[in-house]
Structure formats: C-alpha cells, structure tokens
Amino acid sequence: MKTQTKLRKKTLTLIEKAIVQIIGFKELFQAFEDKILVLGLSSSALNNYARKVAEVCLHFNRLPKDISENELNKYLADMAREGNPPCLSNFKFTVYGLRHFYRLSGMNDRLVELPSIKAKKKLPVVLNYEECKALFKSPALLKHRVLLALIYSAGLRVSEASRLRISDVDSGRMMIHIRQSKNDKDRYVPLSPLVLKGIQRYCEACQPVDYLFNGSIPGTPLSTEGIQWVVREAVKKCGFAKGISVHTLRHSYATHLLEFGMDILSIKKLLGHGCIQTTMVYLHVVHSNRINLFSPIDRLYKKV
C-alpha cells in the first residue's frame, strides 16, 4: 500500500500537485475548464495554459492574484533568459495562461504588465527526397518503419499519429480519418496505397489492438514520447546533422506536395490549418491549378 502511495506521488502532474498544494487552485482550474469550453478551444489549450499557471503557483506557493508585480516580472524575465535560444513555446503558454487567469479574475489592470511575444520567423527544416527514403528504412522494427512512413505520407502531427485507431484507416475509400486534432477539428487525408501495404504487413505481424500503434500494453496508444524516440533513433542511425523532429516529417510532407504540383489551398486543407497564412510558410513562388489530392510518398517511389 505504501509503495502504491509513493508511486502515485511520483506520477502526479503539475496540475494535480497544484490542486493538492495551492489553496484555491482547484476552483481556478474549474474556471479555466469552463472558459475553454465556452470559447470552443481544444482540451490541449486548457492543459497547456493550466499547466503553466500551475507551475507559476507552485513556484510561489500561491495563486497569481497574490503574486506581486515585481515577483511576476522577475519570474518572466528569468524564463525569457532560459536556454540558448529561450524556449518560445514555454514562455508563450505561461504568458497566455496568466492572461487568461487575470481575465477570469476580473483583474484586467494586470494584463498590460505581461510582455507581448513576437515569434521569430524561421523557415522549417525540411528533408530532401533521399533523406526521407533513408529515414523510413533505417529502423530495425517493421512497426517503426511503417510509423515513420505513415506520419510523412499523411502529414500527421505527433499527437495524431499516437491517437490513430485501426478503424480510422479506411482502405475502401483510401482515406485516413484524423479525429479531434488541433482545435478539436476532424479531417480526412489520402491513404497512400504504398503505405497501406506496409500497414497490412505490420498488422498481420504485430496484431495491434484498437490503436494502430500500441504502446507496451496492447490496446493503449504508443505515446508521443515513444514516437519522438523512434524518430530520434532513426535520425541518429542515418547520421543526419539537421535538427530533425517528428514535425519535420510534416514540414517535408507539405513542402514536397508543393514541389510535386499540389496547390496551396489543398495543402492547407490536408494539414488542417485554420488560416492560409500558416500554410504560406511552405510557399515561395508556386502557381498551379488544383489537382487530385495524393500522398507525396507515392511520388517519392514512383518508377521513372
């Protein structure tokens, strides 16, 4: 019994710790949850904002309303200095989370004290065609080879690959159903015939349960951390010097679709972007007519 209690303490999330340790945080989290629901934002937004506010509360051992302006400014300044370069997403969610808290608490006078954030405009890292091929064949396990090829072939986010169920792969319509992704939106993307063959071989050999890619326990999804590990190991084996992550495959998917002639509006739809400006980062000078949707992996291995 003592062992179970110790294990539970070790696995408490930041939000759970704040609920236990900070008086009033439970009510604050409930208010966050209600507000996110009313605004129609995703559950990931709730978790990101609440987690960062929980971190602030645990650092000061009190709610943000009881933290002085000087203390909070010093905390944010120290965070902005962290890392080389600083982690923009970490800083961003802290600031946005605090802004939401002050709005919920009717403390609008505190909003101006939080610094505005300007993202650095950088072009994404993209793999070339031969690097993609090398990456897909580098893992020893069939499961991992299929996973990498599928992420690229459908332009999946890491969370989308993790949550993908066997039933979401529709071989009859040759489509993949991406459910409740960013901003809780569904979308369909083309299923590559080449990748379908790999999925069928993998399913026959590994017999996954419910989720297409199971974790250590059948019927549970392979975690996003597990997927990131697969990519890191594949990159290491290939000896690539580029800064490559799971999202690099999504960047490569969009860029290659443009290079193979697909129009920007179709790519926006396939990526599930909310606005065209987000997709435009992949566009330099491309003027093409709308054509049939396809996966770039089929063009990658197309016989000349």
Options 157, 163, 251, 256, the catalytic residue = 157
Q: Is 301 a catalytic residue?
A: no
Asked if 157 is an active-site residue, the reply is yes
Q: What is the pLDDT of residue 181?
A: 79
Contact predicate 146/199, CB 8 Å? yes
Which one of 182, 187, 269, 299 is the catalytic residue?
182
Q: What is the pLDDT of residue 291?
A: 53
pLDDT at 164: 96
pLDDT of residue 193: 95
| Both structure tokens of 236 | 């290491």
Active site residue 202: no
Q: Catalytic residue among 52, 250, 251, 268, which? A: 250
Whole-angstrom distance, CA of residue 74 vs CA of residue 304: 61
**Which of 35, 51, 179, 273 is the catalytic position?**
273
Structure pTM? 0.65
pLDDT at 199: 97
Run means of pLDDT, 10 residues per run, the chain, 304 residues: 39 83 88 76 72 90 88 82 61 81 75 58 84 96 97 95 96 93 84 96 96 93 94 95 90 90 88 82 50 76 68
Clarify whether 287 is annotated catalytic: no
Q: Tell me the domains of the chain and their CATH numbers.
A: 12-113 (no CATH), 129-300 (1.10.443.10)
* pLDDT in the model for residue 202: 97
**What ranges in the chain are assigned the alpha helix state H?**
2-10, 14-21, 25-39, 43-60, 69-81, 88-104, 129-137, 142-154, 158-163, 193-206, 224-238, 246-259, 264-271, 276-279, 296-300
**Residue 247 annotated to the active site:** yes
In sequence order, which residues have a C-beta less than 8 Å from that of residue 56 and are 6 or more positions away? 64, 67, 72, 75, 94, 97, 98
Q: Which of 17, 179, 247, 269 is catalytic?
A: 247
Q: So what's the pLDDT on residue 4?
A: 40
Residue 177 annotated among the catalytic residues of the structure: no
d(CA 150, CA 296): 11
